[in-house]
Amino acid sequence: MAATSRTVHSVAGKRIVRTATAAVAAVAALISMSGCGWGRTVAEKNAASANATAAASTSGSCVDASGDTIKIGFVNSLSGTMAISETTVNHSLHMAADEINAVGGVLGKKLEVVEQDGKSEPAVFAEKARSLIEKDCVAAVFGGWTSSSRKAMLPVFEADNALLFYPLQYEGMEASPNIFYTGAAPNQQIVPALDYLKEQGHKKLFLVGSDYVFPQTANRVVKAYAEGNGMEVVGEEYTPMGSTDFTTIVNKLKFSGADAVVNTLNGDSNVAFFKEYKASGLKADSVPVISMSIAEEEVSAIGVDNVRGQLTAWNYYQTLDSAENQKFVKDFKQRYGQDKPTSDPMESAYTSLYLWKGMVEKAQSFDVDKVKAAADGVTFDAPEGKVTVDGENHHIYKTSYIGRIGDDKLIHTVWQSDGPIKPDPYLKTYDWAAALSAGTGADSAGTADTAGTADSTGE
């Protein structure tokens, strides 16, 4: 399939086109098979790094920083089952780019956005990412939602030594020198959610999720936590992305004896699940559902009558009371409509563009290696609160919030962490999680072989 692109902000400027060399393609294939991340042995890591560097130097970066503009890429699902969630991420990225341009751009260069539709398909995400890097010559790419999309893109970015800013909370057990993870690591979302359920006296959990990487790996974390904290998993069910029939799953839930549900469904499957949940007679005050992927825009899509009183675990809500968030919400609504809510994933995406700007300005360069070297300690006063980049694992310090869905279709905080939590993608600081990172190849730097967490579905 031929890759196509659409230049959203047309600005005059020189464009250099590069195509992938055979060397880059070979390295990409090796990475895809072996998961060439930071968590391999020192010898393997050094050899892989040398090979990737040699391949990249053969073709050379095509990023052109000689003019008054610099290209960046957005890749989001604007069609397919994930469009319900990803369109708003795309909107917030455009808002951030326009704000940055309004104050002079980055290093004096205006941002020129090239946009691609990932079409809710991991393979398409990889194809579009390659096109953005090799044909459109962007300095960095922002986007992705599902872990399947991220894992499909990862070898592309490592082979081309390019940068991806991934905005979603995810299952952890991964780190890449070419990805900055601006959503929550599991210790910043999953663990606080389970701590909250435990504090509320819930002991029997039912797990429901979409059948791909994030839910399956996240639920391994849930099961390890439960075993180490006196809780019991009484049911675990998965369904293909986009599924709309939850009769059997909800029936199993109803008769499982569960006193809480951990929900890792993604996209529009949540609509069907919560409608069936309500129709079955289950209620939030007796068997609450805590969701990892339902934000404010999904509440409207599902219907507030179907999710009123249910719980969510995130790092941002529209209702947060801060000057930065009030301005963010006001600006977003003025731009896209007063009925358009803000949410965690789109706020994280918005924040990611400002973090990249901070890294580039600290490095005084758009060069990928210089940007990575400058990343540690870069901060931004985000709508969610102050965030800081951890240069060791490319995640960020984030504050955690547990929220309850209200009649106003918004999510209101019922618990929050004392402050920003240091990212721990491998849960190395938790005794109950020791077995989880044992098979990932995690090394002393806290990084791991990224291939080890893919599930059997290939998603």
Residue with tokens 């938790």: 430
- Over residues 416-420, mean pLDDT: 96
| pLDDT in the model for residue 211 | 94
Q: Name the pLDDT band for 241 (thresholds 50, 70, 90).
A: confident
The domains spanning 6-184+342-396 and 187-319+400-438 adopt the same CATH topology = yes
Q: Name the pLDDT band for 440 (thresholds 50, 70, 90).
A: low
Per cent of the chain over pLDDT 70 is 82
| pLDDT in the model for residue 456 | 29
Q: Name the pLDDT band for 150 (thresholds 50, 70, 90).
A: very high
CB burial class (10 A; 0-12, 13-18, 19+) of residue 11? middle
Q: Name the pLDDT band for 57 (thresholds 50, 70, 90).
A: very low
| pLDDT in the model for residue 152 | 98
Q: Is 93 helix (H, G, I), strand (E, B) or coil?
A: helix
Least confident interval from 20-29, 86-95, 311-320? 20-29
DSSP state string for 9-52: S------------HHHHHHHHHHHHH--STTS-HHHHHHHHHHH
| pLDDT in the model for residue 206 | 98
DSSP state string for 298-366: HHHHH-HHHHTT-EEEES--TT--SHHHHHHHHHHHHHH-TTPPP-HHHHHHHHHHHHHHHHHHHHTS-
- Over residues 396-419, mean pLDDT: 97
| pLDDT in the model for residue 212 | 87
Torsion sign across C-alpha atoms 183, 188, 194, 196: negative
In whole angstroms, give the CA distance from residue 218 to residue 237: 13
| pLDDT in the model for residue 337 | 97
Least confident interval from 12-21, 223-232, 300-309, 338-347? 12-21
Computed over every residue of the chain, the mean pLDDT equals: 86
Find, among 346, 353, 373, 352, the residue nearest to 362 by Cα: 373
Q: How many helices (H) and strands (E) does the chain have?
A: 15, 16
The architecture CATH gives domain 187-319+400-438? 3-Layer(aba) Sandwich (3.40)
Contacts of 282 (CB under 8 A, 6+ apart): 250, 253, 254
How far is residue 251 from each of residues 86, 236, 267, measured CA to CA in Å? 30, 13, 21
What 8-state DSSP symbol labels residue 219? Answer: H
| pLDDT in the model for residue 68 | 97
Find, among 398, 379, 404, the residue nearest to 319 by Cα: 404
- Over residues 15-34, mean pLDDT: 35
Count, residues in the chain: 459
Q: Name the pLDDT band for 60 (thresholds 50, 70, 90).
A: low
Condensed to tens digits (0 to 9), the pLDDT of residues 255-286 reads 999 999 999 998 889 999 999 999 999 999 99
- Over residues 401-409, mean pLDDT: 97
In whole angstroms, give the CA distance from residue 301 to residue 408: 14
Fold classification of 6-184+342-396 is Rossmann fold (3.40.50)
Residue ranges of the domains in the chain? Answer: 6-184+342-396, 187-319+400-438
Q: Does the structure show a pLDDT above 60 at 327?
A: yes
For residue 263, what are the β-bridge partners?
Answer: 208, 291
Q: Does the structure show a pLDDT above 70 at 328?
A: yes
Q: Name the pLDDT band for 289 (thresholds 50, 70, 90).
A: very high
Q: Does the structure show a pLDDT above 50 at 23?
A: no
Q: Does the structure show a pLDDT above 50 at 45?
A: no
| pLDDT in the model for residue 420 | 97
Q: Which two tokens stand for residue 447?
A: 């990084």
**The pTM is what?**
0.83
Q: Cβ(196)–Cβ(229) under 8 Å?
A: no
Within 13 A of 13's CA, how many CA atoms are on the CB side? 24
Which strands, in side-by-side order, build the sheet including 260-264? 232-239, 204-210, 260-264, 289-291, 311-314, 401-405, 411-416
Q: Name the pLDDT band for 123 (thresholds 50, 70, 90).
A: very high
Condensed to tens digits (0 to 9), the pLDDT of residues 79-94 reads 998 898 899 999 999 9
Condensed to tens digits (0 to 9), the pLDDT of residues 354-380 reads 999 999 999 999 999 999 999 999 999
In whole angstroms, give the CA distance from residue 347 to residue 380: 12
For residue 415, what are the β-bridge partners?
Answer: 402
